[in-house]
Amino acid sequence: MKMRSVIASIGCAVAVSVSSITPVLAADAADANKLLRESKCTKCHSIDKKKDGPAYKDVSAKYKDKADAVATLTKHMTEPGMVEVDGEQEEHGTVKTRDPKRVKNLVDFILSL
């Protein structure tokens, strides 16, 4: 227990996000965020604010308890589709990687929010 609080306070001191030091959440937040930027997802989504697309926190809340969450989100990010933005149909981007590990990491990251 004591060790934990020490680790927690170190985390705060250097402003490391909690998710990167909590072992339960295995997702690599830095790589997930990098992939979101590289794939231009950040144009329409942010972690905790609604933009043209829903906040990833809301996506997480919506899918967290669903058995097929990983499969559904993976499909949504890797297969092209259309979404409605301001009443117009726009192409929903896909992640700019073919590495299934990075995709899975991003899905895990979103579900950990």
* Residues in touch with ligand HEC (CB under 6 A): 39-41, 43-45, 52-54, 59, 62, 73, 76-77, 83, 85, 90, 92-95
CB 111 within 8 A of CB 73: yes
Q: Which residues of 59-85 are buried (b: 16+ CB within 10 A; e: fewer)?
A: bbeebeeeeebeeebbebbeeeeeeee
Shorter beta-carbon distance to ligand HEC: residue 10 or 61:
61
Instruction: Please report how close the Cβ of residue 62 comes to ligand HEC at its closest, in angstroms.
Output: 6
Shorter beta-carbon distance to ligand HEC: residue 22 or 78:
78
Please name the residues in contact with 57: beta carbons below 8 A apart, sequence gap of 6 or more: 47, 48, 113
How far is Cα 26 from Cα 90, in angstroms, rounded to an integer? 33
Shorter beta-carbon distance to ligand HEC: residue 12 or 43:
43
Instruction: Please report how close the Cβ of residue 91 comes to ligand HEC at its closest, in angstroms.
Output: 7
Instruction: Please report how close the Cβ of residue 97 comes to ligand HEC at its closest, in angstroms.
Output: 10
